[in-house]
């Protein structure tokens, strides 16, 4: 993944060396309300990041873009990641520490990833799967032009009954706004 810059943050390639700092970011009870539990240890997270450094699945069917969100002053705020399928569909996910919510950081970081996926990875459709109760994340996605998936998209992408599938074509009017 290339380094991506916005007016609020920079997305840098996630590396094993980010594990200790990212554990501090992810050890945030507000994130745990809707998403995965905090990683159990810096060693566990370092091992996960080491696997992600391969940038793709062993069978070659997926390409992974994983970036840490860095704020001015070298502070890490979270991550944005994408899984690009051979069908040119990309799953997009993100987590930010709650102290960085509602400041435009998440929307700019995700928008930068979407632009990268469209312009340099040939993606034609973005998909986000989130807990249906996660109203903050759903609002961020709506602000970026995502809409709830239709029944076929929900059936294809949803794993759990309490999940919401949001979908966006790669080229929309949302791309034209700052």
Our measurement of the distance from residue 76's CA atom to the centroid of its chain's CA atoms, rounded to an integer in Å, reads 15
pLDDT of amino acid 31: 77
pLDDT of amino acid 81: 95
Conformation bin of residue 145: beta by default, left when phi > 0, alpha when psi is -120 to 50: left
- Tokens standing for residue 173: 């009017």
pLDDT of amino acid 177: 47
- Tokens standing for residue 64: 């992974």
pLDDT of amino acid 1: 82
Q: What is the mean pLDDT of each run of 10 residues along the chain (178 residues)?
A: 91 93 85 75 89 88 94 91 94 91 93 94 94 92 94 87 92 53
**50: DSSP letter:** H
Contacts of 68 (CB under 8 A, 6+ apart): 11, 12, 13, 14, 18, 22, 76, 78, 79
Rounded to the nearest 5°, which phi and psi values hold at 60? 80, 5
pLDDT of amino acid 89: 94
- CA dist., res. 172 & res. 177, Å (int): 10
**In the CATH hierarchy, which top-level class contains the domain 4-176?**
alpha beta
pLDDT of amino acid 172: 58
pLDDT of amino acid 176: 45
CA distances from 20 to 55, 65, 66 (A): 20, 20, 16
pTM for this one?
Answer: 0.89
Domain ranges of the chain: 4-176
């Amino acid at each position: 993944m290339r380094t991506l810059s916005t007016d609020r943050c920079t997305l840098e390639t996630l590396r094993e060396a980010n594990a200790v700092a990212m554990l501090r970011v992810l050890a945030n009870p507000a994130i745990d309300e809707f998403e995965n539990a905090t990683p159990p240890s810096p060693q566990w997270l370092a091992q996960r990041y080491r696997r992600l450094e391969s940038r793709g699945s062993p069978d070659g069917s997926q390409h992974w873009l994983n970036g840490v969100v860095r704020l001015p002053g070298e502070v890490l705020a979270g991550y944005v990641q994408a899984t690009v399928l051979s069908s040119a569909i990309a799953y997009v996910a993100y987590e930010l520490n709650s102290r960085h919510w509602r400041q435009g950081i998440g929307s700019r970081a995700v928008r930068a990833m979407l632009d990268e996926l469209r312009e340099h990875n040939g993606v034609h459709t973005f998909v986000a799967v989130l807990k249906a109760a996660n109203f903050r994340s759903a609002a961020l996605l709506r602000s970026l032009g995502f809409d709830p998936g239709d029944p076929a998209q929900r059936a294809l992408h949803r794993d759990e009954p309490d999940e919401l599938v949001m979908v966006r074509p790669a080229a929309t009017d949302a791309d034209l706004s700052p």
